[in-house]
DNA sequence: CTGAAAGCGCTTACAG
DNA sequence: CTGAAAGCGCTTACAG
């Protein structure tokens, strides 16, 4: 592959001049610029980003470690992160932890070794030594969705408290009194918070949340299936199962179907995190929707602020309840309930990103 | 961040010796090795992958450009690619083209600038100049799922021909005679092939495929919705709609539902690409399943063969029909039909990857 | 406006 | 077994 030396030779200038042209440095004669550009084109030259990074000590790259790519919520998040990063002149490298702390650490390590400029993490656990090291080492970092308590890192997340309350109100109104939840891991903030919000909301209606009605899941489908089976084996099975994410709701559906039971007649189902398929499941599933796209964008903004020396801000956005038919109420049409602009109304496809800067050789400095 | 110099100073050796220890070079005294390792630990040193790449001219990184992250098929593919790559000692950087050729080019360019060791692409179009350049430039490359004809690059894909025939047999058996398809872009191989396979299968039953029964989609949900609306507006609407991917099937479902019609009573629906949610849609959707995980793994194997100087092989794996209820036949239980081990039976979670190599400082040379 | 030179953090022949 | 040195491809003060 042609290097800057080849271009310099071809153009009859020094590599310094070539570099200046490529970086839009003002003090280059029009003549030199023309010759360099011609040489670049003739040789099909592209600057080596590795060398540039070594020299400038910046990679213009963000790392994103998500808990599970197979979860549409995180896929959506990743997409909006990449889009916003691109708009700001950064690339993003995604690491998928599959809800496994060891894999998460693997990706954090790899990303750090690559000297990414900043790290976006949705932690799978309460904070491994490596993760805490990363924070202490001063790598710009922002937590998205989940976070690690007691650590001084901005957090961009959504607050489901009010929406969970709305959900319980909805369920209570339908006459349900025995409600169960499939929780995420207690080592994750979202794992805990959603149970707590649920418990608090039940409390407001004088309803208990006995241990038997808390299924321990891990945010993956299989755990939702197992937890639901356990519920169904109870002497008095719950009337409602609330899955703390969409994958566990999928597992719950598998378990319910395997027993030949019907939703919502035999048992009601609701989920945290809304996905397009919930409109078409049998029956359509009542869910709590997060403003996922906006979360991703806000997280990137905060991280880039931090990287570029501006003070980053934590952001908390409200989630909202979307009522469908899985809890028993007839809903003739898609009914969006209660509060806040919809994350579902958020188009699946977001507006096209700005055109790429055209000259092949400009580093996007934004 | 500590550099190799700091480690050398701390250990009282030269940087060459530090480098040898880190790379498991045999000729290092036990004493030196001990001191270096101690220094590494004391300083929390991690080698700078950027510098290493510049020097060795390899990044141990694969690029993967997929057409759409929001499509669960590609998400699954990406996951298996990353897993297999990790097992072979490579990282992967994912670029999401969103079915946009310009975005695809953006990612190919960025990846090439980063000097990835090899590129896995599922092309969004028939081959942009940039893509063809990339091939000619000698960057190791493998196509997955979709490919560009006339270019000498190994292809790892699945052949849906037989499964599409099975589908048509199934539909014909149910008495359907007016069949329509929502096609993908004609610029993509899968866009064309699926229509051709469908047309050929219809032909075998003496059925026509009039132009009015070919909806032009772009593999995204919205296009499926529009195409379906057009079908429904026909004087004689089709009895069956076959969507060439799962996202367009989602759009079709939206359109059908918006008119208050029922599947399969008013219109039957089938899709290419199976996803877990198809079991729980109303009704469960008949689909053609690809061996997605194996496709991803085979693609990585081929690419790494190419990178490491072994002859890479193209791979074609059969897809298979999974009959559910969306075309009219009562299927009391999940019925997996006809041929081949199932991609759905493929566990959603694949077996855990091998443990990471433990010493922090070893380059995974595999 | 331009070029020679130093240096980013590594690896690796080459000598000893 | 070990170290001094060159060099990977860039960028950027410094001098002119």
Which residue's CA lies closest to nucleotide D2 at its C1' atom? B17
* Cross-chain residue pair A276–B96, CB shorter than 8 Å: no
pLDDT band at A330 (very low <50, low <70, confident <90, very high): low
Give the angle subtended at the CA of B56 by the CAs of B34 and B51, to the nearest 5°: 70
* Cross-chain residue pair A277–B282, CB shorter than 8 Å: no
Size of chain A, expressed as the number of residues it contains: 366
pLDDT at res. A125? 87
pLDDT exceeds cutoff 70 at A363:
no
> Considering the domain boundaries, does residue B21 fall inside one?
yes
pLDDT at res. B126? 84
* Cross-chain residue pair B70–A76, CB shorter than 8 Å: yes
* Cross-chain residue pair A254–B54, CB shorter than 8 Å: no
**Of the candidates A257, A281, A356, which has its C-beta nearest B102's C-beta?**
A356
Contacts of A124 (CB under 8 A, 6+ apart): A67, A97, A99, A100, A101, A103, A104, A146, A187, A188
By C-alpha distance, the chain A residue nearest B252 is: A280
A52 touches strand D (CB under 7 A): yes
> Considering the domain boundaries, does residue A267 fall inside one?
yes
The mean per-residue pLDDT over the stretch B20-37 comes to 95
* Domain co-membership, A12 together with A128: no
Average pLDDT, chain B: 90
B39 touches strand D (CB under 7 A): no
Instruction: For residue B230, give the CATH number of its domain.
Output: 3.40.50.2300
Query: Distance from A318 to chain B by nearest Cα, in Å?
Result: 23
* Domain co-membership, A148 together with A207: no
By C-alpha distance, the chain A residue nearest B51 is: A54
- Which residue from A19, A133, A58, A48 is spatially nearest to B48, judged by alpha carbons? A58
- Which residue from B38, B94, B44 is spatially nearest to B70, judged by alpha carbons? B94
pLDDT tens, position by position, B92-146? 999 999 999 999 999 999 999 999 999 999 999 888 999 999 998 889 999 999 9
- Which residue from B126, B193, B137, B142 is spatially nearest to B165, judged by alpha carbons? B193
The tokens of B7 are what? Answer: 């480690």
3-state secondary structure of A340: coil
pLDDT exceeds cutoff 80 at B6:
yes
pLDDT exceeds cutoff 90 at A338:
no
CA B339 to each of CA A102, B165, B287, B290, B299: distance values in angstroms, whole numbers, following the listed order:
38, 12, 13, 12, 23
- Beta-strand relationship, B61-66 and B118-121: parallel
Q: Please, which residues bridge with residue A121 across strands?
A: A65, A143
Residue A279 · residue B278 · CB < 8 Å: no
B113 touches strand D (CB under 7 A): no
Residue showing tokens 């990706």 = A107
pLDDT at res. B282? 87
- Which residue from B360, B356, B357, B358 is spatially nearest to B40, judged by alpha carbons? B360
pLDDT band at A340 (very low <50, low <70, confident <90, very high): very low
Residues in A closer than 8 angstroms to B284, CB to CB, are 282
- Which residue from A85, A66, A87, A92 is spatially nearest to A77, judged by alpha carbons? A66
Residues in A closer than 8 angstroms to B355, CB to CB, are 102
pLDDT exceeds cutoff 90 at A311:
yes
Strand B179-183's sheet: what is its strand order? Answer: B214-216, B179-183, B240-243, B268-272, B286-289, B320-323, B335-336
- Beta-strand relationship, B335-336 and B320-323: antiparallel
The tokens of A10 are what? Answer: 């071809």
pLDDT band at A282 (very low <50, low <70, confident <90, very high): confident
pLDDT at res. A352? 37
* Domain co-membership, A174 together with A113: no
> Considering the domain boundaries, does residue B343 fall inside one?
no
pLDDT tens, position by position, B233-250? 999 999 999 999 999 999
Residues in A closer than 8 angstroms to B51, CB to CB, are 54
Q: Please, which residues bridge with residue B317 across strands?
A: B158
Distance A54 CA to D6 C1' (A): 18
* Domain co-membership, A170 together with A264: yes
Give the C-alpha separation, B231 to B266, whole Å. Answer: 13
Based on the structure, what is the number of domains in chain B?
Answer: 3
pLDDT tens, position by position, A130-152? 999 999 888 999 999 999 999 99
* Domain co-membership, B152 together with B164: no
Strand A268-272's sheet: what is its strand order? Answer: A214-216, A179-183, A240-243, A268-272, A286-289, A320-323, A335-336
pLDDT tens, position by position, B271-316? 999 999 999 898 999 999 999 999 999 999 999 999 999 999 999 9
Query: Distance from B254 to chain A by nearest Cα, in Å?
Result: 8
* Domain co-membership, A128 together with A35: no
* Domain co-membership, A178 together with A238: yes
B54 nearest nt, CA–C1': D8
* Domain co-membership, B8 together with B21: yes
> Considering the domain boundaries, does residue A348 fall inside one?
no
pLDDT band at B336 (very low <50, low <70, confident <90, very high): very low
pLDDT at res. B330? 58
Residue showing tokens 């809890």 = A327
% of chain A surpassing 90 pLDDT: 86
Query: Distance from A47 to chain B by nearest Cα, in Å?
Result: 7
- Beta-strand relationship, A286-289 and A240-243: unpaired
* Domain co-membership, A83 together with A222: no
Instruction: For residue A42, give the CATH number of its domain.
Output: 1.10.260.40
pLDDT tens, position by position, B165-215? 999 999 999 999 999 999 999 999 999 999 999 999 999 999 999 999 999
> Considering the domain boundaries, does residue B357 fall inside one?
no
pLDDT at res. B335? 42
A248 touches strand D (CB under 7 A): no
Specify which of A254-268, A350-364, B342-356 reaches the highest per-range mean pLDDT: A254-268
**Of the candidates A69, A106, A133, which has its C-beta nearest B44's C-beta?**
A133
Bases on strand C under 7 Å from any protein CB: 1-5, 7-13
The tokens of A315 are what? Answer: 């952001």
A48 touches strand D (CB under 7 A): yes
What is the SS3 string spanning B254-310? HHHHHCCCCCCCCCEEEEECCCHHHHCECCCCEEEECCHHHHHHHHHHHHHHHHCCC
Q: What are φ and ψ of residue B253, in 5° steps?
A: -60, -45
* Domain co-membership, B77 together with B185: no
* Cross-chain residue pair A250–B98, CB shorter than 8 Å: no
pLDDT exceeds cutoff 90 at A92:
yes
pLDDT at res. B366? 29
Bases on strand D under 7 Å from any protein CB: 1-5, 7-13
> Considering the domain boundaries, does residue A22 fall inside one?
yes
Average pLDDT, chain A: 90
Identify protein residues whose C-beta is within 7 angstroms of any atom in strand C.
Answer: A 13-17, 20, 26-29, 31-32, 51, 54-55, 57; B 1, 3-5, 15-16, 18-20, 22-23, 45, 47-48, 51-52, 54-56, 363
Distance B109 CA to D10 C1' (A): 18
- Which residue from A311, A309, A306, A338 is spatially nearest to A323, judged by alpha carbons? A338
> Considering the domain boundaries, does residue B347 fall inside one?
no
- Please state which of the ranges A190-194, A349-353, A356-360 shows the lowest mean pLDDT: A356-360
CB atoms within 10 A of CB A57: 11
Which residue's CA lies closest to nucleotide C5 at its C1' atom? A16
pLDDT band at A361 (very low <50, low <70, confident <90, very high): very low
pLDDT exceeds cutoff 80 at B352:
no
Higher pLDDT, A59 or B345: A59
The mean per-residue pLDDT over the stretch B75-97 comes to 97
- Domain of A122, in residue numbers: 57-157+294-317
**Is the preceding peptide bond at B44 cis, omega within 30 degrees of 0?**
no
CB atoms within 10 A of CB A42: 13
Q: From start to end of A67-175, where are the E strands?
A: 91-96, 118-121, 141-144, 155-159
* Domain co-membership, B191 together with B251: yes
By CB neighbour count within 10 A (0-12 exposed, 13-18 middle, 19+ buried), where does A138 fall?
A: exposed
* Domain co-membership, B322 together with B310: no
> Considering the domain boundaries, does residue B366 fall inside one?
no
The tokens of B115 are what? Answer: 């000097």
């Amino acid at each position: 592959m042609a290097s800057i030396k080849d271009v310099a030779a071809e153009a009859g200038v020094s590599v310094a001049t070539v570099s200046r042209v490529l970086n839009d440095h003002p003090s280059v004669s029009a003549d030199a610029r023309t010759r360099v550009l011609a040489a670049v084109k003739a040789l099909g030259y592209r600057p080596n980003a590795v060398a540039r990074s070594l020299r400038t000590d910046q990679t213009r790259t963000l790392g994103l470690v998500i808990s599970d790519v197979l979860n549409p919520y995180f896929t959506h998040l990743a997409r909006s992160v990449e889009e916003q990063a691109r708009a700001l002149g950064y690339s993003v490298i995604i690491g998928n932890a599959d809800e496994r702390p060891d894999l998460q650490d693997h990706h954090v390590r790899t990303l750090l070794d690559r000297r990414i400029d900043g790290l976006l993490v949705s932690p799978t656990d309460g904070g491994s030594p490596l993760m805490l090291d990363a924070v202490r080492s001063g790598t710009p970092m922002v937590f998205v969705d989940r976070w690690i308590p007691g650590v001084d890192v901005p957090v961009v997340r959504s607050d489901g408290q009010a929406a969970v309350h709305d959900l319980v109100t909805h369920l209570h109104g339908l006459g349900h009194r025995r409600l169960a939840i499939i929780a995420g891991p207690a080592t994750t903030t979202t794992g805990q918070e959603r149970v707590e919000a649920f418990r608090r909301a039940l409390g407001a209606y004088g309803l208990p949340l006995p241990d038997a009605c808390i299924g321990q899941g891990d945010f993956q489908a299989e755990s939702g299936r197992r937890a639901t089976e356990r519920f169904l084996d109870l002497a008095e099975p719950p009337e409602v199962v609330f899955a703390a994410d969409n994958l566990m709701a999928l597992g719950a559906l598998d378990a319910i179907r395997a027993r030949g039971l019907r939703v919502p007649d035999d048992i009601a189902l609701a989920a945290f995190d809304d996905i397009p398929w919930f409109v078409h499941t049998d029956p359509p599933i009542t869910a709590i929707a997060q403003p996922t796209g906006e979360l991703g964008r806000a997280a990137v903004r905060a991280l880039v602020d931090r990287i570029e020396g501006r003070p980053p801000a934590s952001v908390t956005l409200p989630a909202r309840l979307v009522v469908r038919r899985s809890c028993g109420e007839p809903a003739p049409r898609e009914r969006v309930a209660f509060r806040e602009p919809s994350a579902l109304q958020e188009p699946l496809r977001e507006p096209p990103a700005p055109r790429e800067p055209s000259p092949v050789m400009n580093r996007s400095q934004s």
